[in-house]
Amino acid sequence: MRNLTRAVALTAILLAPGAALSAQRELPYTFQGTVRAVKAGALDLIIGVGEAVRVVHMRTQSATAVFGEGASIALGDLQPGDVVRADCRLTQAGLIADKIELKRRAP
């Protein structure tokens, strides 16, 4: 689990701003991080490795499934400080979240 989470974090860093997009395929990525901001159709997550912290921007769609505490919830139910896991695809238009799962509520 620890290695998996770490792999997620490391992968996330690979995707931080400035990373080149793979043009042809929609690559799957998973991030686990802290919600920085929730806007209509968009989610910003704080991820990091040690004291090197970065933000990942992702878009959501109407089909994006959002779960929390065992039930389906709305994207707007998420708030800054929540820890979530997001399964995404890297597309020409950027990261698209397919599934977002609330892991821990903000204090």
The residue (of 11 and 91) whose beta carbon lies closer to other proteins is 11
Separation of first and last alpha carbons in the chain: 23
Identity of the residue, 6 or 39, whose beta carbon is nearer to other proteins in the bound complex: 6
- Which residue lies nearer to other proteins by CB, 8 or 73? 8
The region that residue 58 occupies, defined by phi over 0 for left and psi between -120 and 50 for alpha, beta otherwise, is: beta
Contact assessment for residue 21 and residue 27, using Cβ atoms and an 8 Å cutoff:
no
H/E segment holding residue 55: strand 52-68
* Residues in touch with other proteins (CB under 8 A): 2, 5-6, 8-10, 13-14, 16-19, 32-34, 36, 46-55, 80-81, 83, 103-104, 106-107
- State the minimum distance, in angstroms, from the CB of residue 42 to other proteins: 14
